[in-house]
Structure 1
């Protein structure tokens, strides 16, 4: 925009300068006489004996015409040079003025970029532009942007509080239900039907408990991290991987919340094991550091995943081929993985294998030696 404004300013100045120079040329051309007007004296000297020589009157008229033409030529050339020099100065000043005028827009853009690039979804919403100056269109834009950020911040805070409060409120009745069911099942007078019903209800109660735990983790991972410490993804992967999981672990150190990072690795490994349905299938976990990124890679065999459905797997309560989860999971595993990764300034990507299964890669900023 700065270049376009400068080009417009310079083009308009040059166009008006050319018009002014043309008008000046016409006015001067009209004022300068085309021939000499001789009054009084009629004898301008003896007539030359050589007929090829011009007569004195004709010679005088020629001098007047040449002087007029020279003056107009000088006006055009010198005026054109002056116009080019002044236009160059005007374009340079226009560049500086345009930059000065657009400086508030740069501030708005930088603030929006910082918020958009914040690792957590709502971490930068507390920031405001707070632009000062005259109440012009740019300040109105900045104030509108600040108002939008305020409303978004309140919306995110309300959403987090609702999820956290609802999850905590639901824990109490679930715990009470579990206690009552366990007491009922321990009674000797309980029939087989009652025991079967109690076992089913306990399984449903456990699933609801895992759902609430997942919601709490998801809500926590979308906040700004309050605890940061040195964590090696290789240590976590070694701890959560079962004996039948293939591991290739090299140091992959990062800085973050150890509890959330352990949940990230645990969810990926559990998901890979749960969906590894092919006969003779395998699950492989690898960690390494490359290009200043601590990387966790979990791959497995399993059903073929269409590429167009990969992104939907990271949405809450979604599963391959169906909207709601009917199995033992609660549909929040990969959602929590992505939320935790972004809260730590990283990303997660999934690529389907042609033979079936997925390769899920999590990249986090590597820990520096002094951290």
Structure 2
């Protein structure tokens, strides 16, 4: 059965089969035409005769040139033979055309079937390449499955060269992802260790009995700077992790995550004089619970930080009619220009006073976008009338 990919488009196998069939049909028609012409020239010549003087026999000639056949007889006999010759000639022509067309149709159908089988065998290595690429693309994580190879055997033709090139590309990608994993692991260790050591030394100096007030104030400043660097490094490492697809999934209810994050943020919200409300409806999906919690946490923290005293943050979860799970975080606060919306999900982007004070690492919403992409979802931010943002995250159920 011919597989149609899209309106007006056929698979390569179908196109090759049709090409074989059309070429055979053209060749068969040409052969039938040549056969008909040669047969007409040699065997299907008209029967001619002359009527001599009365009392003499008539003579007829069949054929032409060196193949002439002289026949003599009465005029009635000659007329009968001429009529029979015409009937025979017409019957032969009709039989040649009819039977030739039937034979051409039968052999043409056979050639199409053979072309379908042969093209399938010729394209089998291409199907193997496609299946390998599909398995790698469907891997639960971007770096999983890169160890697979096609390892195509056979003659070194174009398909073998394509498979070898694909294997070489997979090897390079596998090496690159392996290097990235090692880099993230080494960076996590090498960057966190000195910061932890600095924090310990500063705290030790601050808690000495002989420490002066200036030393304590300096220690508090250094601890704040150190904490900011730790958050920046943790955010970068989390961003690098969440940029990849998920390797391990489990069933997570966004309602539980929302209630947990809102409860944890109560102290920070109270300090900022911001009210945080949760409207959690059941919204189960398959995902990484740690990353999903960080997604909700970043949105809630962003709503609290970019707010005003007496403002509010509303966190809601629900299941959409199309089956997707939706998380909405809306907050009051300063007016956000619409031209700022396209860039707020980019790393190290700060809005408003954060650009001057340097508060935050500018990674919160970029981490939200990365986690959303890793779960196959979409995130949209819309400015609210009167100030603040409404951020909507739509995630597939699995």
For the aligned pair, the TM-score class normalised by the smaller chain equals 0.7 to 0.9
Deviation at 1:220, TM superposition (A): 4.1
Deviation at 1:128, TM superposition (A): 3.0
Q: Secondary structure at the match of 2:278?
A: strand
CA RMSD of aligned residues (A): 3.4
Which residue of structure 1 lines up, in the alignment, with residue 299 of structure 2?
Answer: 268
1:317 aligns with 2:309: no
* Structure 1 segment 327-366 matched on structure 2, within 5 A: 327-341=358-372, 343=374, 345-353=375-383, 355=385, 357-365=389-397
Alpha carbons 1:276, 1:357 under 8 Å: kept: no
Q: Deviations over 1:262-304 (max 9, x none)?
A: 2222122222333346x86542212234455444332334543
Which residue of structure 1 lines up, in the alignment, with residue 65 of structure 2?
Answer: none
1:223 to 1:313, Cα distance in 2 relative to 1, 3 A: same
Which residue of structure 1 lines up, in the alignment, with residue 102 of structure 2?
Answer: 81
Residue 25 of structure 1, aligned match among 12, 20, 36: 36
Distance in 2 (CA, whole Å) between partners of 1:33 and 1:227 is 82
TM-score, length of structure 1 as denominator length: 0.80
1:13 aligns with 2:30: no
Distance in 1 (CA, whole Å) between partners of 2:145 and 2:177 is 11
Alpha carbons 2:378, 2:395 under 8 Å: kept: yes
Residue 192 of structure 2, aligned match among 171, 181, 189: 171
Q: Which protein, 1 or 2, shows the higher relative CO under an 8 Å CA cutoff with sep ≥ 6?
A: 1
1:252 aligns with 2:278: no
Which residue of structure 2 lines up, in the alignment, with residue 57 of structure 1?
Answer: 78
Aligned residues: 353
Unaligned runs of 5+ in 2: 1-11, 48-60, 63-68, 267-274
Distance in 1 (CA, whole Å) between partners of 2:365 and 2:356 is 13
Deviation at 1:121, TM superposition (A): 2.9
1:32 to 1:350, Cα distance in 2 relative to 1, 3 A: same
* Structure 1 segment 94-105 matched on structure 2, within 5 A: 94-105=115-126
1:360 to 1:113, Cα distance in 2 relative to 1, 3 A: farther
1:256 to 1:349, Cα distance in 2 relative to 1, 3 A: closer
Distance in 2 (CA, whole Å) between partners of 1:111 and 1:276 is 50
Which residue of structure 2 lines up, in the alignment, with residue 131 of structure 1?
Answer: 152
Q: Deviations over 1:62-94 (max 9, x none)?
A: 432332232122111210121122212222332
TM-score, length of structure 2 as denominator length: 0.76
1:93 aligns with 2:114: yes
1:339 to 1:115, Cα distance in 2 relative to 1, 3 A: farther
